[in-house]
């Protein structure tokens, strides 16, 4: 009795309807190395980071904005620059926007940094930006910053950190290279992080042994994170 339905399904889905060519609509063609998107509530626009150090807003009615002011200076060399952008879980009331970026240090070395500011009502300025996290030590000469940001259901902020192309550091828990860290929304260390109060280990660490994790997503059903590292598969 099921065979007619199976045959009909094969005719419907196996004969081309599921193989239609995707339709690509170009929204903007003047961005310079766009790195990340954050979608504002109520389809009111998309925040876009450009790696050279610009944050812009694209809106259906107005197109692409001029660069939003108040963005921190960035280390725009190699793979560095202005990287991820995410909205705070309470963005509707706080207007808080989080950015990750490569930050310059001594001797032309750099590391990942994270901070937040308040998006002004006219969407033209990121006000009162403050840095809440800095990768230590700074070891990168332009490689492997990680830099993906995501909030979990409890409002904790997770940050992926590349090993700055210093591979052994990913296994060294006294350094923040090759790690995923977990912080409060203000950049504090939660008391239940796995290495809190352990001598010689960084309390920010949630997991270690990563290369250059540039994918981080929260499963909306399980509440668990999945991460993906950039690497050459041989």
Rounded CA gap, 162 and 138, in Å? 11
3-state secondary structure 95-160: CEEEEEEEEECHHHCEEEEEEEEEECCCCCEEEEEEEEEECCCCCECCCCCCCCEEECCCCCEEEE
The reply to whether 19 belongs to the active site is: no
Give catalytic residue positions.
144
């Amino acid at each position: 009795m099921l065979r007619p339905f199976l045959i009909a399904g094969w005719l419907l889905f196996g004969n081309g309807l599921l193989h239609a060519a995707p339709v690509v609509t170009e929204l903007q063609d003047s961005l310079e190395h766009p790195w990340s998107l954050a979608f504002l509530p109520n389809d009111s626009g998309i925040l876009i980071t450009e790696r050279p150090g610009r944050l812009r807003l694209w809106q259906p009615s107005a197109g692409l904005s001029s660069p939003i002011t108040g963005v921190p200076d960035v280390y725009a060399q190699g793979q560095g620059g202005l990287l991820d952008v995410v909205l705070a879980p309470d963005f509707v009331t706080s207007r808080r926007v989080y950015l990750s970026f490569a930050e310059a240090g001594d001797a032309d070395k750099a590391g990942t940094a994270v901070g937040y500011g308040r998006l002004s009502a006219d969407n033209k300025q990121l006000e009162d930006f403050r840095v809440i996290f800095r990768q230590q030590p700074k070891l990168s000469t332009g490689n492997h910053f990680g830099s993906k940001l995501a909030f979990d259901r409890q409002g904790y902020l997770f940050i992926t950190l590349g090993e700055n192309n210093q591979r052994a550091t990913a296994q060294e828990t006294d350094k923040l290279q090759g790690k995923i860290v977990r912080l409060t929304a203000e950049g504090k260390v939660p008391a239940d992080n796995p290495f809190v109060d352990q001598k010689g280990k960084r309390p920010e660490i949630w997991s270690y042994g990563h290369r250059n994790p540039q994918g981080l997503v929260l499963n909306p059903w399980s509440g668990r994170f999945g991460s993906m590292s950039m690497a050459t598969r041989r």
